[in-house]
Amino acid sequence: MVSIISIKSKKLSGEIFVPGDKSISHRALILGACAVGKTTIENLLESQDVLATLNALKELGVSIKKNQKIWEVQGNGLGSLITPNKILNLGNSGTGVRLLMGLVSGCDITASFIGDESLNSRPMKRVLVPLKQSGAEIQSDNFKLPVTIKGNKIPIPIKYTSILSSAQVKSCVLLNGLTTTGKTSYSELVKSRDHTEKMLHFMGASIQSKYLKDGSNRIELKGLPYLKSKHFKIPNDPSSAAFPSAVALIIPDSDIKIKNVCLNDLRTGFYESIREMGGFIKFINQKSISGEVVGDIHVKYSKLKGIVVPQKRVPSMIDEFPIFCIVACFAEGETIMRGIKDLRNKESDRIKEMVDNLNEFGFSVKSTTDSISIIGNKKVNPKKEIAIDSKFDHRIAMSFLCLGLLMEKGIKVNNAETISTSFPGFYNIMKSIGANFKKYRVIE
């Protein structure tokens, strides 16, 4: 077990790079496997989650290798996967397992999926129900892992309306639709992150997205596209960038820049909310790379006020709510977050973990099934070090390490090794701008 202690720090300053975007990294590998020819990927996030997807694709017969700093995926076209010789273990990666289920269900193969204890407890019904429409044969116990899928060589085109705003569900359905002979249609009440759509369009697929009169979003994909191999230069992850940004906002005199970050407007809800709170957040040096808007984020210490986060913004900051809760603890007045029930289905029950742990520090935090409210209090400072069990949730671990940088006695986060599932280098990157971290390993 790895534990990290964070202790009160002075101002943060400097320029940093966070790792490549996790969502785009998964998709670049998977779509590269569907293309014809060699897809090259620059700045792939080499985290445990992404490497789990990479290794699963290798088991499915895809040739993937690293040539210096560039990853090469040799695609053999749609439907070219083979039945793996063993169960595909996706570890902690919800994105990896749900997207690969979509891919496998559209091929004439059989594959079984499993994960770690956390992933095995997470709901898979959201993707298995629409996949059954395609004719895939699915075996599962209560719609949870382990899951076995026997794909349909020519899937029936799915027409599905989701009550969730979930890029994972949407991407799963679209990946299944690649091998249909018809048109796949997917509707969502609120538009979720659209990396899959952008990347498919970039590779030559006929895919359209449009808003309907009721405000919902519909995506239509024409089956059997000829996907061209491409070079993906992956921008850095805005969800990872939220952690140093949050700390810079609440430690006096801090001033940092985070370079080459994905600024897709469906990923920047955290930063929009910070601006509404009065925070200094500027996007600079913006440009387009591989179909995505990329730029630098400039953050300064700011006096913040509480806000009500609009529910329509929730999908664009769903991964950032744990660290947003930390920021809210230092804002004047009350901050309210509603419509966040899906946080209970992440690597941990993130609503419960944030509320229980923040209350232990003495912050005023309340919750309902789908909401959190926080009354900020800059004076909270326990007289002893408090230990947090990450519950093997990387975002819980990083959020409380960030909070520790404002606590005189510090915070110890146990099971901190889970951070490597999404943000390898977190410890050193944060230390480089002034974070007071100490790491040690407990031999069990």
Angle, CA 55 vertex, CA 261 and CA 22 arms, to 5°: 15
Residue 443: the pLDDT is: 52
Domain count, the chain: 2
Question: Hey, what are 317's tokens?
Answer: 């900051």
Residue 203: the pLDDT is: 96
pLDDT above 90 (res 213): no
pTM tops 0.85: yes
Could you tell me what percent of the chain has a pLDDT over 90? 97
pLDDT above 80 (res 308): yes
Asked if residue 268 and residue 291 are part of one domain, the reply reads: yes
Residue 290: the pLDDT is: 87
Question: Regarding beta strands 70-76 and 137-141, do their DSSP bridges make them parallel or antiparallel, or are they unpaired?
Answer: unpaired
Asked if residue 186 and residue 245 are part of one domain, the reply reads: no
pLDDT above 90 (res 61): yes
Residues facing 140 on adjacent strands: 147
- What mean pLDDT do residues 312-338 have? 97
Q: Which of 198, 214, 233 is the last residue of a domain?
A: 233
pLDDT above 70 (res 444): no
DSSP letter string, 112-171:
EEE--HHHHTS--HHHHHHHHHTT-EEEEETTEEEEEEE--SSPPPPEEEESS--HHHHH
Asked if residue 132 and residue 63 are part of one domain, the reply reads: yes
Asked if residue 242 and residue 227 are part of one domain, the reply reads: no
> Where are the alpha helices (H) located in 280-406, listed in sequence order?
321-328, 350-361, 394-404
Digit-coded pLDDT (tens) for 37-53 = 999 999 999 999 999 99
Asked if residue 329 and residue 273 are part of one domain, the reply reads: yes
Q: Which of 204, 233, 262 is the last residue of a domain?
A: 233
Angle, CA 95 vertex, CA 89 and CA 101 arms, to 5°: 65
As a residue count, the chain comes to 444
Residue 153: domain span? 22-233
Asked if residue 45 and residue 95 are part of one domain, the reply reads: yes
Q: Are 221 and 183 in contact (CB under 8 A)?
A: yes
Amino acid of residue 199: M
319 as an active site residue: the answer is yes
Residue 369: the pLDDT is: 97
Residue 345: how many CA atoms within 13 Å on its side-chain side?
14
Write down the catalytic residue from 116, 319, 342, 393. 319
Residue 442: the pLDDT is: 59
Digit-coded pLDDT (tens) for 356-408 = 999 999 999 999 999 999 999 999 999 999 999 999 999 999 999 999 999 99
User: How many Å is the maximal CA-CA distance in the chain?
Assistant: 65
pLDDT above 70 (res 24): yes
Could you tell me what percent of the chain has a pLDDT over 70? 99
Question: Hey, what are 74's tokens?
Answer: 């040799």
Q: What's 85's domain CATH number?
A: 3.65.10.10
Asked if residue 204 and residue 77 are part of one domain, the reply reads: yes
**How far from 342 is each of 107, 319, 346, 398, CA to CA, in Å?**
30, 10, 7, 20
Q: Which of 171, 199, 233 is the last residue of a domain?
A: 233
pLDDT above 80 (res 441): no
Asked if residue 271 and residue 220 are part of one domain, the reply reads: no
Asked if residue 172 and residue 306 are part of one domain, the reply reads: no
Asked if residue 66 and residue 16 are part of one domain, the reply reads: no
- Closest by CA to 390, choosing from 411, 362, 371, 408, is 411
Asked if residue 218 and residue 333 are part of one domain, the reply reads: no
Residue 440: the pLDDT is: 83
What mean pLDDT, rounded, does the chain reach?
A: 96
Q: Are 247 and 429 in contact (CB under 8 A)?
A: no
Confidence band for 82, pLDDT divided at 50, 70 and 90: very high
Asked if residue 271 and residue 165 are part of one domain, the reply reads: no
